[in-house]
Amino acid sequence: MKKLIITHCFTSALLLLLTSAYAQTPKSGYDYLLPEMKEMQDDDFGNPGMMAVDAGEIQFSTTGKNGRSCASCHGDGASKLDTKHIARYPVYSTELKKPVTLRGQILICQNERIGGTPMKYASQEALQLEAFVRRLALGETIDVDVSGDMSPYYDAGKKLFRTRWGQVDIACHQCHVYHAGRTFRGQILTQGQSNGFPGYRYTAGKVVGTHERITGCLNNLRAEPYPIGSDEYINFEVNMNARGNGLKIDTPGIRY
C-alpha cells in the first residue's frame, strides 16, 4: 500500500512537472519582434495596419441603405461601445446558439441594421471595420469566458490546435507551444497568439485577421484551409483568444 502511494505520488509529480513545463504563460507576438518592428508598430503614422483602421473608421460613419450608419447607434467614433466588452469576444449568442466573433457581430449589425448588398465575412470591408472596432480596445485585457455554453467550442478549438495538419503532419501546438522562442526558417516562433489581429503581416504585405492568419499556417503545412468565417475557424478563434486571456489587445500588430 505504502509503495503504491509513493509510486502514485511520484507519477503525479512527474506529470505535473511535464505539464507545467508546457503550461505557457501567455506572451504576445509583440514581445518577439525586433526593436525596429516594435518601433514601427508603436508609431501610428508608421504602422501600415493603421490604414485598415482608418478605412474602418470612415465606413463606421458612412450612411447605408437603411439611412443609418454604425455611428447612429454606437455614437460618433464609436464612443458608446464598451471596450472591455470588445476584449471578451468571441461571446456566446443565445439567439444563434453558438459563439459569435467580433467580426461576426459587426456583420450582424451591418447586414441586419445598415442593409444594402450583404457584406461577406471574408471581405476587406468587414476586416477594416473589425480592425477599427478592435483598435478602440487597444490595451484592454483579453478576457474570454469559456465556461458553460462556450466550453464545447473551446474544447473543439483546442482539439484543432492539437491536430496534425497536412503533408507536413505537424500540429499547431508543436510549433507554437513546444517550440515557441526557437528559430524556424529564419523566423522566431511565437506562441501563435491572436491579440495583435487584425494586424499587418509584414511577410504578406497586408492586413489580416485571425482566420486569415490561420489560413497562412495551414497553407504552409500544405493542408486544406477552411473558409474564412467557418465554424472551424470560429472554434479556433474561441480557443486562441482564450489561450491569450490576460494579454493586452495590440491591434493592429505588426507580425511575420
Closest residue to ligand HEC, Cβ-based?
29
Q: Least Å distance between CB 13 and ligand HEC?
A: 30
User: Quick one: 46 or 77, whose CB is closer to ligand HEC?
Assistant: 77
Q: Least Å distance between CB 140 and ligand HEC?
A: 12
Q: Which residues of 240-256 are buried (b: 16+ CB within 10 A; e: fewer)?
A: bbbbbbebbbbbbbbbb
Q: Least Å distance between CB 139 and ligand HEC?
A: 16
User: Quick one: 146 or 214, whose CB is closer to ligand HEC?
Assistant: 214
Q: Which residue has the cell 470612415?
A: 58
User: Quick one: 7 or 187, whose CB is closer to ligand HEC?
Assistant: 187
User: Quick one: 15 or 153, whose CB is closer to ligand HEC?
Assistant: 153
Estimate the crossing angle of helix 231-243 against helix 210-220, to 10 degrees: 100
Q: Least Å distance between CB 5 and ligand HEC?
A: 40
State the residues that interact with ligand HEC by CB under 6 A. 29, 60, 68, 70, 72-74, 81-82, 85, 105-106, 108-110, 113-114, 129, 133, 161, 165, 170, 172, 174-176, 184, 187, 189-190, 192-194, 196, 213-214, 217-218, 221, 236, 255-256
Cis peptide before 118 (omega within 30 of 0): no
Candidates 70, 73, 109, 217; catalytic one = 217
Catalytic residue status for 172 = no
Q: Which residues are known catalytic residues?
A: 217
